[in-house]
Amino acid sequence: MEPEQIKKIRLLLVDDETQFRSTLAKRLKKRGFAALQAGSGQECLAILSDQPMDIVVMDVKMPGMTGIDTLHRIREKYIETEIILLTGHAATQDGVEGIKSGAFDYLTKPVELSHLLSKIIQAYEKIIAARQSREAAAYKAHIEQQMIATERLAALGTLAAGVAHEINNPLAIIYESAGYLGALLQNEELADMPHKAVFEKALRNIESGVKRARTITHQLLGNVRKSEAILAEVDVAELIKEVILLIQKEAQDKEIVVKLQTDDDLKPIWADPNHIRQVLINLLNNAIHATLEGGAITFEVKAAADDMFITVSDTGMGIPKENLEKIFEPFFSTKAPGEGTGLGLFVTKEIVEKLGGHIRVDSRVGQGARFVVQLPSGSKLKDQGV
């Protein structure tokens, strides 16, 4: 064992014979072991209640509280501490009883220093191994917890998509019926119908409610219907230009400049252009929403080895640290009630991951946000049979 590690061992010598104890402590010190000392079982327990010890080397035969009594007390309270007992010459029985009660081992007096040293080291190695296996178990539990959370989210997404699908038909019926009633109200014979304006207003409310419900179901279903996916060579830079045009009005209303920077020799990627468009629209919409008047949003497209990186950065309000993990969860939104579905980033992440890519975010409150989408280039996608 390295001297550095030996120095770290917290060692306590317990013996009522002061002379023996201090001589042993001195000899241990010469070998690099620093030990505290106690003259009785009570004193030993007092020290332990004050500071944790790795190893207690203890005489069995002590007046008052014996070594075995003390051992029992230590075992009850300090599970991590190992105990090495020192027994009288003809007192093997004590040592055996000590081991039965949970001592690491025993040595008979007079103690040979090299024996004691190797016992201390063995005991310490046992402590380290136990510590490591406890840490490994805690880490495993943590990972499992995370996996459960991820699976739960995925299941929730699938469930939500299923529900959305089922809701689409009744929504269509409600929408059409509202339209039909609206048309009926235009009939001449109903021109003087009492409360006509109230009916009309209620129908408009129904229609706008249904529209809102539809945006939710469409978001959820957007990337689920695999059969509808089309594969094509997508020129990402062209697609970004198209999306910027599409959302130009929202940006202009807030006097936000949207820029695009691309590498010159970008190769197309192999994907469903509708999916990539949805990713771009979601990211751009979020950026516009988060950015104040006069801010800027920049798209950047870069190719590196087998991957393409699409970055969307804004000068907006940024995302608080505690929300960074949550923003990709379904239905998480900080928008006013009724304004956002909280599905934009969830769907975006699903699309990107289905293509074998990743999405990550960098942001600080007040300093804007930066979303980076990494997509494998065409050849890799084809290998995966996407």
Contact residues: ligand ATP, CB under 6 A: 282, 286-287, 290, 314, 316-319, 327, 332-335, 340-346, 369
The DSSP output letter for 326 is: G
- Report how far residue 56's alpha carbon sits from residue 229's, in angstroms, rounded to the nearest whole number: 69
* Burial group, residue 366, by CB count within 10 angstroms (0-12, 13-18, 19+): exposed
Contact (CB, 8 A) for 75 and 45: no
For residue 341, the partner it binds in ligand ATP, Mg ion, none, with Cβ less than 5 to 8 A by kind, is ligand ATP
For residue 45, the partner it binds in ligand ATP, Mg ion, none, with Cβ less than 5 to 8 A by kind, is none
Nearer to Mg ion by Cβ, of 98 and 344: the residue is 344
Nearer to Mg ion by Cβ, of 214 and 267: the residue is 214
Nearer to ligand ATP by Cβ, of 233 and 325: the residue is 325
- Report how far residue 23's alpha carbon sits from residue 110's, in angstroms, rounded to the nearest whole number: 12
The DSSP output letter for 36 is: E
CB of 125 to Mg ion, least distance (A): 55
CB of 291 to ligand ATP, least distance (A): 8
CB of 204 to Mg ion, least distance (A): 26
Nearer to ligand ATP by Cβ, of 41 and 368: the residue is 368
Q: Tell me the three state secondary structure of residue 128.
A: helix
For residue 287, the partner it binds in ligand ATP, Mg ion, none, with Cβ less than 5 to 8 A by kind, is ligand ATP
Nearer to Mg ion by Cβ, of 11 and 347: the residue is 347
Q: How far apart are the first and last CA of the chain?
A: 54
Contact (CB, 8 A) for 94 and 60: yes
Q: Tell me the three state secondary structure of residue 52.
A: coil
List of residues contacting Mg ion (CB under 5 A): 286, 344
CA-nearest of 340, 330, 288, 365 to 157 is: 330
Nearer to Mg ion by Cβ, of 89 and 249: the residue is 249
For residue 342, the partner it binds in Mg ion, ligand ATP, none, with Cβ less than 5 to 8 A by kind, is ligand ATP
Token pair belonging to 205:
């409310």
CB of 230 to ligand ATP, least distance (A): 24
HEC string for 173-207? HHHHHHHHHHHHHCCHHHCCCCCHHHHHHHHHHHH
CB of 361 to Mg ion, least distance (A): 13
For residue 199, the partner it binds in Mg ion, ligand ATP, none, with Cβ less than 5 to 8 A by kind, is none
Q: Which amino acid, 16?
A: D
CB of 165 to Mg ion, least distance (A): 21
Nearer to Mg ion by Cβ, of 239 and 369: the residue is 369
CB of 246 to ligand ATP, least distance (A): 15
For residue 334, the partner it binds in Mg ion, ligand ATP, none, with Cβ less than 5 to 8 A by kind, is ligand ATP
Nearer to Mg ion by Cβ, of 25 and 352: the residue is 352
CB of 238 to Mg ion, least distance (A): 23
Count Cβ neighbours within 10 Å for each residue of 213-251 and write b for 16 or more, e otherwise: bbebbebbbbbbeeeeeeeeebebbebbeebbeebeeeb
For residue 343, the partner it binds in ligand ATP, Mg ion, none, with Cβ less than 5 to 8 A by kind, is ligand ATP
For residue 290, the partner it binds in ligand ATP, Mg ion, none, with Cβ less than 5 to 8 A by kind, is ligand ATP
Nearer to ligand ATP by Cβ, of 120 and 319: the residue is 319
- What are residue 360's DSSP bridge partners? 372
CB of 386 to Mg ion, least distance (A): 25
Cα–chain center distance at 367: 23
- Report how far residue 326's alpha carbon sits from residue 358's, in angstroms, rounded to the nearest whole number: 16
CA-nearest of 279, 283, 278 to 258 is: 283
